[in-house]
Structure 1
Amino acid sequence: MSSVFKEKETIQLLQKLVEIPSPSGYTKEIMKFMASLLDDMQVTYQLSNKGALIATIEGKDTSKHRLLTAHTDTLGAMVKEIKGSGRLKLSMIGGFNWNAVEGEYCHIHTASGKRVRGTILMHQTTVHVYKNAGSAERSVENIEVRLDEKVTNADETRALGIEVGDFVSFDPRFEQTDSGFIKSRHLDDKASTALLLQLIASIKENDLKLPNTTHFYISNNEEIGYGGNSNIPAEVVEYIAVDMGAIGDGQTSDEYTVSICAKDSSGPYHYDLTRHLVDLAKQQGIEYKLDIYPYYGSDASAAIRAGFDVKHALFGPGIEASHAYERTHIDSLKHTAALLEAYVLSPMETE
């Protein structure tokens, strides 16, 4: 197991990350924050035209590279329509169910930079008025944002600076329990992002020598399908997506181990690279689960679809209630951190 995992610092960083709004398409603030962290660590990085951040640490072998990626973009919404009542109709960013955000507080981010508070509700919320308050479909037609401003019509809402196309971010409601659970929206994939940043910090602080030049790719469009499918150096042989393990009926993943994905909706991950991860976990006493995610895709699978000739694999912390109010446990973060460290320090597998 890793001896360099810093629980307090990791949780503090994770809380900072989830509290910076970053729905896909609106990620400048969080990318700027991460760039500042890398500047402090004196780590070389580049920014892609799409806004992704790619940090690089040189290894002993500079001819065959590794790449690890996590994504900071999250689920969110955009203003689709300003209704006659002054309330807002939404358009989803990413894939989730409307009931997962019903009742959630949110920010509307206007073009001027102003933030306006609101609550995501069913139009038919009031049980004393609407007979179908409980049975009405949770749909784009019925979900709306109630603004915390004195507005009664569309013109008054527009006077606040709100317009169609403004981004809407959901409150994370971060909480750490005494029993070791971390509850928050956007643990997908900011838990993995925090772990990658902490790994970089550990490599620098402990002067760890990597066997291969390694890139750390922080993507910002994963939730909409094309986060890590470009700007991959030609020398990259192995591509690891560090993303959540999905928990539910028929799954082996849990909140206490690292989840290693053998297959998702895109098909099987690279067999030899996946077995290498499993072997590392066994050798170092890292608790893991192998799993298949039926309705899942990652930046690694996006890179394969884009035509990159790389070996790809996927692992990460187990996240309960994905794309809703999510939860994981500190044990899962520890085991994921341990596998990350073991992997970047291991010799590259050769055929």
Structure 2
Amino acid sequence: MNTSDNARLPLPPLDEAYLEETLLQLLAIPSPVGLTDAVVRYVAGRLDGLGIPYVITRRGAIRATLRGQERHPARAIVAHLDTLGAMVRELKDNGRVGVVPIGTWSSRFAEGGRLTLFTDTQQIRGTCLPLMTSGHAFGDAINAQPNTWDNVEVRLDLPLHSRADLAGAGVHVGDWIAFDPQPEVQPGGYINARYLDDKAAVAVLLTACKAIQDSGAPLPVDVHPLFTITEEVGSGASAALHGDIAEMVSLDIAIAAPGQATDERAVTICLQDLSGPFDYHLSHKLIKLAQAHGIEHRRDVFKFYRSDSAAAVEAGNDIRTALIGFGADASHAQERTHVDSLRALGQLSVAYLLSDPVARRDRQSMGSIEGFTEQLKPEEMQVNTTPLPDPQEFLEAKD
């Protein structure tokens, strides 16, 4: 089945009730980087329910397998389970806790956030606050505080008034902190929450797998859905890959902001991020699939962004990579997307899984020039026949 054959067939439908249920359950499970065992167990249970086999690495990255008509060249499709968070860096004399971020995000979005601190033996609820919080106590000085992690602290919901009190409650430097996701699903389709990055994409990937399983549609080649646990700190899909995988598509958040082409109600196909351009052929294959199936999509590039794909290539994997994402506003803050974007991401994921690989030559990591891809074929390019201006006429006009 080639891409054009696939385009003539309707895509298996997505179970949108399953998608929403999975997303809300994922959001309810704290999973800052380094505290991901619970969410790994949840996704393993979801895969068991779908009858999809998987293996788990030592630390918890999951590699599932959907068997295709051929084993090679295999492909991967990846989303990450880990989120941003914080960690205790200091027990303070006032009975509060100084923190450092896990991952890259601004303290301004932590301020006012309700949270859970995980000690060795218990979970303690609390709130992240600026050092000067009450205008009744500090007046206009509250508006002059810098927005840095050194200027926030965590107030725990226990009678704690000193460093000794904190120690007595079992609080230690290095304890994990997870902020509440605050999910809200609107009747009009908007979804607000912390950590849609990347739990929305995880829910979409599981839903796409369910669509394939429910339909019984044959896959051309083996597919390995991957669920990584360290994307927010840069290593991501450097684990759980193996040499059989020739191409990999990352599912992640896409950035809707001024100067960006991304839209909250479409899927974004990213052509480049901070790590450089994605694979030409794989990215354009995804564009053609979106066009063929009438999937609302945008093309974009992201200047301050990296994904699981970057981690995979930097780890030495010679694979084609691409990035597609759900459009979202206010990434790494109070994020918002729309169900239309999740639907479009799911449809494009299913279309990709049902399509042929980019190049059969990719069965092997090395080969001759025969069968090698070609990006710009002269016979397929539209040539601009507008004559170039005469340099002499330009000089005479200038005089």
TM-score by length of 2: 0.86
State the distance in 2 between where 1:62 and 1:233 align: 13
Alignment map for 1:255-294 (pairs within 5 Å): 255-294=264-303
Correspondence 1:299 to 2:308 = yes
Q: Please give the per-residue CA displacement for 1:285-339, whole angstroms capped at 9, x wherever unaligned.
A: 0010000001000010111111100000000101110000100001001110110
State the distance in 1 between where 2:72 and 2:277 align: 27
Of 159, 163, 181, the residue aligned with 1:150 is 159
Correspondence 1:188 to 2:203 = no
Q: State which drifts further: 128-137 or 177-186.
A: 128-137
Q: CA deviation at 1:129?
A: 2.1
Q: CA deviation at 1:2?
A: 4.2
Q: CA deviation at 1:140?
A: 2.1
The corresponding residue for 2:123 is 115
The corresponding residue for 1:24 is 33
> Quick check: which has more Rg, 1 or 2?
2
Q: CA deviation at 1:233?
A: 1.6
State the distance in 1 between where 2:161 and 2:74 align: 58
SS, match of residue 57 in structure 1: coil
The corresponding residue for 1:252 is 261
State the distance in 1 between where 2:120 and 2:93 align: 21
State the distance in 1 between where 2:257 and 2:132 align: 30
Q: Please give the per-residue CA displacement for 1:198-247, whole angstroms capped at 9, x wherever unaligned.
A: 11222222212111100011000000000111231211111111111111
SS, match of residue 136 in structure 2: coil
State the distance in 2 between where 1:192 and 1:10 align: 10
Correspondence 1:139 to 2:152 = no
Q: Please give the per-residue CA displacement for 1:138-168, whole angstroms capped at 9, x wherever unaligned.
A: 2122100011111111111222221111100
State the distance in 1 between where 2:191 and 2:64 align: 27
State the distance in 2 between where 1:107 and 1:315 align: 32
Q: CA deviation at 1:134?
A: 1.1
Of 199, 210, 226, the residue aligned with 2:219 is 210
SS, match of residue 134 in structure 1: helix
Correspondence 1:48 to 2:57 = yes
State the distance in 1 between where 2:239 and 2:32 align: 20
Q: CA deviation at 1:3?
A: 4.6
Correspondence 1:13 to 2:22 = yes
State the distance in 2 between where 1:85 and 1:283 align: 62
State the distance in 2 between where 1:44 and 1:161 align: 40
Q: Please give the per-residue CA displacement for 1:155-192, whole angstroms capped at 9, x wherever unaligned.
A: 11222221111100000000001111000000000000
Correspondence 1:127 to 2:135 = yes
Correspondence 1:73 to 2:102 = no
SS, match of residue 309 in structure 2: helix
The corresponding residue for 1:104 is 113
Correspondence 1:201 to 2:207 = no
Amino acid at match of 2:62: L
Q: CA deviation at 1:349?
A: 1.9
Amino acid at match of 1:87: R
Q: Please give the per-residue CA displacement for 1:248-286, whole angstroms capped at 9, x wherever unaligned.
A: 111000100001100011000001110000000000000
CA contact (8 A) 2:62 2:240 kept: no
The corresponding residue for 1:333 is 342
State the distance in 2 between where 1:246 and 1:303 align: 21
TM-align CA RMSD = 1.0
Amino acid at match of 2:247: E
CA contact (8 A) 2:76 2:247 kept: yes
Correspondence 1:309 to 2:308 = no
The corresponding residue for 1:319 is 328
State the distance in 1 between where 2:161 and 2:223 align: 55
Give the number of aligned pairs: 350
Q: Please give the per-residue CA displacement for 1:90-145, whole angstroms capped at 9, x wherever unaligned.
A: 01100011001110100001112x11000000011111222410121021221000
Q: State which drifts further: 93-102 or 31-40.
A: 31-40
State the distance in 2 between where 1:89 and 1:265 align: 31
State the distance in 1 between where 2:150 and 2:245 align: 46
CA contact (8 A) 1:2 1:337 kept: no
SS, match of residue 179 in structure 1: coil
Q: Relative to total residues, which structure has the larger helix share, 1 or 2?
A: 2
Amino acid at match of 2:44: A
Of 129, 153, 176, the residue aligned with 1:167 is 176
CA contact (8 A) 1:64 1:236 kept: yes
State the distance in 2 between where 1:186 and 1:319 align: 11
The corresponding residue for 2:73 is 64
The corresponding residue for 2:351 is 342
Amino acid at match of 2:194: R
Aligned-residue identity in percent: 36
State the distance in 2 between where 1:98 and 1:209 align: 47
